[in-house]
Amino acid sequence: MSKARLKQELAESKTELDKLKEEMSSGMHTVHKDLSLLYLVPKWSGAENATSLEEFLASIDRAASIGKWQDADGLNIAVIRIADSAKSELPAEDAIWQEFKKACKKDLKTCELSAV
């Protein structure tokens, strides 16, 4: 390997190392989320013969734990997995996952967070 090639690789390595040091010092650690687990969460329609609300919420919690999801991810997955027939029961945009679960458990028919 030529000296010029070695110098170029060394410069590239230093640049990459500097980037990694900056990421580490800024506290921004990369966390890989496994969003493919979304398919472990059943659709929820609110119908009597469908998955219960408790099982729906628990399945989101289980998938979130395995997939390293944040609260916002759990809430977004809930929105995705709520069937069209139950779309009127969507959480408010500024809702928090834990608040959404509490509101749903309080009133199983309406998981609305207008008061939260």
Assess whether 96 and 50 both reside in one domain.
yes
The 10s digit of each residue's pLDDT in 30-45 is 667 777 888 889 988 8
Q: What 8-state DSSP symbol labels residue 28?
A: -
Position 113 in a domain: no
User: What's the domain range around 5?
Assistant: 1-30
22 shares a domain with 4: yes
Model confidence, pTM = 0.57
What are the tokens at 34? 């496994």
- Shared-domain flag, residues 65 and 94: yes
85 assigned to some structural domain: yes
pLDDT, tens digit, for every residue of 38-77? Answer: 888 998 887 878 788 889 889 999 998 888 888 888 888 8
Full DSSP string of 74-116:
HHHHHHHHB-GGGGGGPPPTT--HHHHHHHHHH-TT----TT-
Report yes or no on 112 lying in a domain. Answer: no
Look at residues 99, 103, 111, 96 and name the one whose alpha carbon lies nearest to residue 44. Answer: 111
Does some domain include residue 111?
no
Same domain for 23 and 5: yes
Residue 99 CA from chain centroid, whole number: 16
- CB-based contacts of 104, cutoff 8 Å, min separation 6: 53, 57, 111
116 located within any domain: no
Radius of gyration of the chain (CA): 22
